[in-house]
Structure formats: structure tokens, C-alpha cells
Amino acid sequence: MNDCLFCKIIKGEIPSDKVYEDENIYAFKDINPKAPVHLLIIPKKHYATLNDLPDEEMGIIAEIHCVMKKLAVKFGVAESGYRVLANINKEGGQVVYHVHYHLIGGRQLRA
């Protein structure tokens, strides 16, 4: 999608602090971190929300979780603990309409 912020980040049109990339996935540091570790993990293919991801393409979500598991180790929060979450649509708190997961850790998180 042309006007999607995260698509522009994937293409390098907007700079990002990349922490991981493969054929299908891109991960980078959140620009406004809520904790010492705050990463965003996204599919390279554009889907606005999880609602728009067809069932037959849900394998990308498993791939994202595999990457998050490895990034948790790399960023030193696998054992101390961390949170992964996806905000979906307005009342879910979604601001950027390109599917993404947050990986947050490095401090005690509250419910």
C-alpha cells in the first residue's frame, strides 16, 4: 500500500532501527518505546488488521511468533519476561493500519 507508514519502513523510504529481516518479516524498534525493549514485528505483505488476514495465510502469524521468541532471547528478556500484543481497530488502540505485533519487556509490566 502506497500510503502505509510501515510499508514505507519496509521499503526503506522511512528510516527505522531494524532488528530483524527475512523474506516475509521485518522487525524494528518502536519510535516511542513503552519499556526498555519495545520492538514491532510485521509481515512484509500488507494487511491492514488481523481481520484482513485470510485464514490460509495465518502461517505468517506463526512465523512472527518464531521471530519474537528469538528476539526475546537476543534482547535479554526471554527469561525475565515480556509481553506480545496486537492492537486491532480503533477500540483496540490500533494507530498504524498494517498488521504488527509489539514485543515489550525489560521492566515489570502491569496488567
Task: Point out the residues that are catalytic.
Answer: 100
| In the complex, minimum distance from the CB of residue 41 to ligand 5GP, in angstroms, rounded to a whole number | 11
30 binds, among ligand 5GP, Zn ion, none (CB under 5 to 8 A by kind): ligand 5GP
String marking each residue 72-91 x if it binds Zn ion according to CB under 5 A:
--------------------
Q: Single out the residue of 27, 28, 38, 98 in contact with Zn ion (rule: CB under 5 A).
A: 98
Least distance between ligand 5GP and beta carbon 55 (Å) = 22
Radius of gyration of the chain (CA): 13
C-alpha cell at 66: 518464531
Could you tell me which of 32, 19, 15, 31 has the C-alpha nearest to residue 75? 19
Size of the site for Zn ion (CB under 5 A): 6
Instruction: Give the footprint of Zn ion on this chain (CB under 5 A).
Output: 1, 4, 6-7, 46, 98
Instruction: Give the footprint of ligand 5GP on this chain (CB under 6 A).
Output: 5, 14, 16, 28-32, 40, 87, 93-96
